[in-house]
């Protein structure tokens, strides 16, 4: 069914599954719904994980276009609103106290590769590929460039965004875009195992890990070191 994002709760895990046609493009409504679901789950102290998954051939090959104006093209305001929603979601994936796990069963491009890159844990089937193809449409993927060099080496980040070429799963693992690559028939079980392993840790401590890593992105090394003292004391006393 087109334009569909299935949201369900499985124990302490919020599961969001894209089932939006062959390419699993995220519409603006799907982006908004995912963000709302994560924020609601984060407010529940019983919730600990977000699992991003998809049905079909592709994990997600991008996002749908905003509604066109009278000239047949999206307006600047519509494009700005969609870009803002994507940035907000990327930030939410990194700053939510919930651990975000991407279960990547197929190719991921553009927005879809962003979901993978901004997850805390990303496990991919060995046949999956990744790319940022915006340059092939004539514009630089500025949103991608705002976070990608933090995840992968700068020269690899440049190559990925400047060529729009596909990257195989093993290379993406080496680059730091992925956590693990497994055979396709092991993917779901391996994601289950990773979540079960993390679920055995202290819920409060795991939330502290996410919170501090989110705060750390905006700090220099010295500021992060000083902030770590208070974070350690609060966590230990709790």
Give yes or no for residue 123 having a pLDDT over 70: yes
Cα–Cα distance for residue pair 139/137, rounded to 1 Å: 6
Nearest-Å Rg of the Cα atoms of the chain is 18
Strands 129-131 and 99-104: unpaired
Q: Give the pLDDT confidence of 22-47 residue by residue, as tens digits.
A: 999 999 999 999 999 999 999 999 99
Instruction: Give the distance, in angstroms, between the CA of residue 103 and the centroid of all CA atoms in the same chain.
Output: 10
Identify whether residues 221 and 185 lie together within a single domain: no
Identify whether residues 75 and 155 lie together within a single domain: yes
Identify whether residues 38 and 62 lie together within a single domain: yes
Number of folded domains in the chain? Answer: 2
For 189, the domain range is 5-197
Which CATH number belongs to the domain containing residue 163 in this structure?
A: 3.90.226.10
Identify whether residues 55 and 26 lie together within a single domain: yes
Confidence tier at 74 by pLDDT (50, 70, 90): confident
Give yes or no for residue 101 having a pLDDT over 90: yes
Identify whether residues 140 and 207 lie together within a single domain: no
Identify whether residues 106 and 163 lie together within a single domain: yes
Strands 13-18 and 5-10: antiparallel
Residue 45 tokens read as 């102290």
Q: Residue 60 phi/psi, 5° resolution?
A: -175, 125
Residue 230 tokens read as 């208070």
Give yes or no for residue 171 having a pLDDT over 70: yes
Residue carrying structure tokens 């929603």: 85
Identify whether residues 27 and 123 lie together within a single domain: yes
């Amino acid at each position: 069914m087109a334009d569909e994002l299935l949201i369900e709760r499985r124990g302490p895990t919020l599961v969001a599954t894209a089932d939006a046609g062959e390419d699993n493009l995220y519409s603006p409504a799907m982006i908004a719904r995912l963000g709302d679901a994560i924020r609601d789950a984060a407010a529940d102290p019983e919730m600990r994980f977000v699992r991003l998954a998809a049905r079909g051939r592709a994990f997600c090959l991008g996002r749908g276009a905003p509604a066109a104006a009278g000239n047949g093209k999206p307006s600047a305001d519509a494009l700005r609103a969609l870009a803002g929603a994507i940035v907000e979601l990327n930030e939410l994936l990194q700053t939510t106290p919930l651990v975000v796990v991407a279960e990547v069963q197929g190719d991921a491009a553009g927005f879809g590769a962003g979901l993978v890159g901004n997850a805390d844990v990303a496990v991919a089937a060995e046949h999956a590929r990744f790319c940022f193809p915006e340059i092939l449409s004539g514009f630089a993927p500025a949103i991608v460039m705002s976070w990608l060099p933090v995840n992968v080496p700068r020269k690899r980040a440049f190559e990925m965004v400047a060529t729009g070429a596909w990257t195989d799963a093993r290379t993406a693992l080496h680059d730091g875009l992925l956590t693990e690559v497994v055979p396709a028939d092991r993917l779901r079980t391996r994601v289950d195992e990773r979540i079960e392993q993390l679920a055995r840790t202290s819920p409060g401590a795991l939330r502290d890990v996410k919170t501090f890593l989110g705060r750390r992105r905006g700090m220099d090394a010295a500021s992060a070191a000083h902030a770590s003292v208070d974070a350690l004391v609060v966590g230990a006393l709790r």
